[in-house]
Structure 1
Amino acid sequence: MLSAVEEAAESTKLWFGAAVAMAWAGGWRGRTAAVNGLAALAVAQLVSNGLCKQLADRPRPPKQWFPHDEVDDRPDSSSFPSGHTAAAMAFTAAVMPTWPAAGAACALPAGLVALERVKSGVHCPSDVAAGAAIGLAGAWLTRSAPRLVRRHRPPRGATAARTGQTRTDGRPARNLRERAGLVWSGSPTCQGHPDKPARQAAAATC
């Protein structure tokens, strides 16, 4: 069973299939969960395979520790961290808050993937633990990114305030019509007027 789960998880086929199933059967909630899961998976894969494996050149566990022949098919890349575990945990943790039932269904194969990576001799337990931590961090970052962007977005009207475009009451101009009626002078008789004759009369008094 572990080998079958590991084979399905190879190249993230298992998680892409789960995302398609959720998007098809879960409506808006399923599509949101699928997008969150795949986004978190991409972040985790980028950090684990694209960054950490390049920095940490850890060899695979010794072959003599494992009596089976599966160790002969191990990749030559760094053992640290487990990219499969990172992807599995990232997808599951990102799906769980949006669709708890689907997240719980993904938790079982995610745990089996992590267990199989150790049993097959591909990773040490510490590699799997690091991969799980990266996956959880990727899920948190994916779900928190929109809130962090909104928090650091400039407040409404800040651009107009920076360029000096303010209304006569001191507040930022909200639209082009208000901006068109603004003048540089602070004299009450030279402020914006709704019609052309009034503006001309006001200009003559300045």
Structure 2
Amino acid sequence: MQLLHDLHSVDRQLTRRAASWTSPWARQVLPAVESAAEKTKLWWATGLLMAVTGGRRERKAAVAGVAGMLSAQVIGNAVCKQLYERRRSPADLIPHDDVEDRPDSSSFPSGHTAAAVGFTAAVAVLSPWWGAAAAVPAAMVAVERVHSGAHYPSDVAAGAAIGLASAWLVHRAPQLLLRQVL
């Protein structure tokens, strides 16, 4: 019980600290990246760009990335958010006006982060360059979710874990299924 209390206290402290960043980067760039990532537009566009401009390897990486993103969304949004209801960060932790623009759904886990990490990690296995390029906006999305007050850091960490697990499943599931069939 004490561990949960300590985690919640750390979550609140980190949220307050991240939300109080007033640099132009934090106030302008982070919301722009989040807007691009809204409804997974950024990841679909990146996958399309990879498929159109790359070779066979990039096309396979794009398909894996989209599969990782979609499976992370199903696990995070359709399963976890239904199982665990968590309120968003309280407005008194967020010193800026963005607090009015938050979703009403459960904050646990961060679906934006799950999708971003699911896409990025699945791509990185097959195309390290594209994976590294996608990691930059993925990290920015994760930071923005805390900065805007939409999520606690533990929501973002859980979303990242779901994204990593989804990427692992995308690359391992076909092999595991073949072993079961053969």
Same fold, TM-score > 0.5, yes or no: yes
Letter in 1 for 2:79: L
Counterparts of 2:75 and 2:177, CA distance in 1: 21
Deviations 1:65-104 (A, max 9, x none): 1111111010100010000000000000000011110000
Matched, 1:11 2:39: yes
Give the deviation of 1:30 after TM superposition. Answer: 1.2
Could you say which residue in structure 1 is the equivalent of 2:110? 82
SS, match of residue 139 in structure 2: helix
SS, match of residue 60 in structure 1: coil
Could you say which residue in structure 2 is the equivalent of 1:71? 99
Counterparts of 1:113 and 1:97, CA distance in 2: 21
Q: Which aligned pairs between 1:135-174 and structure 2 lie closer than 5 A?
A: 135-154=163-182
Q: Which structure shows the bigger proportion of residues in helix conformation?
A: 2
**Higher relative contact order at CA 8 Å, sep ≥6: structure 1 or structure 2?**
2
Could you say which residue in structure 1 is the equivalent of 2:122? 94
Matched, 1:123 2:151: yes
Letter in 2 for 1:29: R
Which of 137, 141, 144 is the aligned partner of 1:113?
141
Counterparts of 2:93 and 2:131, CA distance in 1: 34
Could you say which residue in structure 2 is the equivalent of 1:55? 83
Question: What are structure 2's unaligned runs of at least 5 residues?
Answer: 1-28
Structure 1 segments of 4+ aligned residues over 3 angstroms from their partners: none
Give the deviation of 1:146 after TM superposition. Answer: 1.1
Letter in 1 for 2:164: L
Counterparts of 1:11 and 1:23, CA distance in 2: 20
- Kindly tell me the number of residue pairs found equivalent between the two proteins: 154
Letter in 1 for 2:139: G
Give the deviation of 1:149 after TM superposition. Answer: 1.4
Deviations 1:147-185 (A, max 9, x none): 11121123xxxxxxxxxxxxxxxxxxxxxxxxxxxxxxx
Which of 69, 78, 92 is the aligned partner of 1:41?
69
**TM-score, reference length from structure 2:** 0.83
Could you say which residue in structure 2 is the equivalent of 1:2? 30
Task: Please report the RMSD computed on the Cα atoms of aligned residues, expressed in angstroms.
Answer: 0.6
Specify the structure having the higher radius of gyration (Cα).
1
**TM-score, reference length from structure 1:** 0.74
Counterparts of 2:159 and 2:74, CA distance in 1: 12
Give the deviation of 1:55 after TM superposition. Answer: 1.0
Counterparts of 2:108 and 2:88, CA distance in 1: 8
Counterparts of 1:26 and 1:13, CA distance in 2: 19
